[in-house]
Amino acid sequence: MNFKGQHILSTAQFDKEGLLEVFEEAKKMEKVLQDGGSNLLSGKILATLFFEPSTRTRFSFESAMNRLGGRVLSNADMAATSSLKKNESLEDTVKTVSQMADVIAIRHPESHSVEKTSKVSNVPVINAGDGSNQHPTQALLDVYTIWKEKGSIDGLTVGMIGDLKYGRVPHSQCDLLKHFDVKFVFVAPDALKMPNEIVEELRSAGKEVVEGENLSELIEEMDVIGMTRVQKERFESEEESLKYEGIYLLDAKIMDGAKKDAIIVHPLPRVDEISVELDSDPRAKYFDQVGNGVVVRMALLKKVLGY
């Protein structure tokens, strides 16, 4: 896959070869980190424009750029503090920043907004989450975690549990996992099911997809237990979102029914989906994922900037 100068907007852009290329590069980045980082991207600037809250994603992009010797222009609250307050358009904002940076990571609450801005940017734009649509770098690090932990992705049964309707992370994960021989098990209440077009796309790619609501029953066959948070900010009203509060809680009792070598992943933040008692379970990989996010973003920044 050609990465140089490309926008990274959706996981649909990745073929299997491109995905494995990023993973191999990320593995090399683990070594770069052990050796204290590098100066490969010295002189390059990453701008992070975030219009939605973030802890991991923004810091992870910035850590990745810093670890490779680059520099960062950062605004964690663009909505409140940029000229958008004076009614400047998002496109003009990005056009402006693209004159000052070599690559831009954007998070925005509206689906497809990042793609729109990429059309006016002189430099690569990386989608750091656009509404309920996509979160490609998170899915890359999730699948990297699976690849690293399980040795291979073929033959696995991957569970996705929680808000599969509004969750951009499970949407992006499906695009990547469909390149492998994977069985999907989706666990969600009826109103928060995985969008039909995604399920149909997986089935037409020959994948087996099981859908249900009962986590305790369906967990038995999962090799990967992918938990997600109810995306309360994307519901029509808070009252509506409260109906699903605490809908799935993964705890030690439920994990008794899971495979001994299963892994638990979660993009975080965790709210009430995973009991803290599981943090010391060797199957819990959700904090390891954070470290994997840094090396995956190092790999991607390197490739997009053409090194």
Using CB under 6 A, list all residues that contact ligand NCD: 56-57, 129, 135, 138, 168-169, 228-229, 267-269
Q: Are 44 and 102 in contact (CB under 8 A)?
A: yes
40 vs 37: CA distance, rounded Å: 9
Nearer to ligand NCD, 257 or 269 (CB): 269
198 vs 171: CA distance, rounded Å: 7
Nearer to ligand NCD, 88 or 272 (CB): 272
Residues with catalytic roles: 56-57, 86, 107, 135
Taking the CA atoms of the chain, what radius of gyration do you get in angstroms?
Answer: 19
Nearer to ligand NCD, 118 or 133 (CB): 133
Classify strands 45-50 and 125-130 as parallel, antiparallel or unpaired.
Answer: unpaired
Distance of closest approach, residue 108 Cβ to ligand NCD, in angstroms: 11
Residues near 151 by beta carbon (within 8 Å), at least 6 away in sequence: none
Distance of closest approach, residue 228 Cβ to ligand NCD, in angstroms: 6
Q: Are 206 and 233 in contact (CB under 8 A)?
A: no
Distance of closest approach, residue 202 Cβ to ligand NCD, in angstroms: 20
Distance of closest approach, residue 43 Cβ to ligand NCD, in angstroms: 28
Terminal Cα distance for the chain, rounded: 14
Backbone angles phi and psi of 154, in degrees to 5: -60, 140
Q: Are 164 and 186 in contact (CB under 8 A)?
A: yes
Q: Are 82 and 105 in contact (CB under 8 A)?
A: no
CA distance readout (Å), 228 to 52, 133, 169, 187, 241: 18, 15, 8, 11, 14
Nearer to ligand NCD, 44 or 174 (CB): 174
Nearer to ligand NCD, 25 or 142 (CB): 142
What are the b/e assignments for 285-306, b being 16+ CB within 10 Å?
bbeebbebbbbbbbbbbbbbbe
Distance of closest approach, residue 129 Cβ to ligand NCD, in angstroms: 5
Picking from 164, 158, 243, the residue whose alpha carbon sits closest to that of residue 196 is 164
Nearer to ligand NCD, 98 or 296 (CB): 296
Distance of closest approach, residue 132 Cβ to ligand NCD, in angstroms: 9
| Location of structure tokens 């960062």 | 72
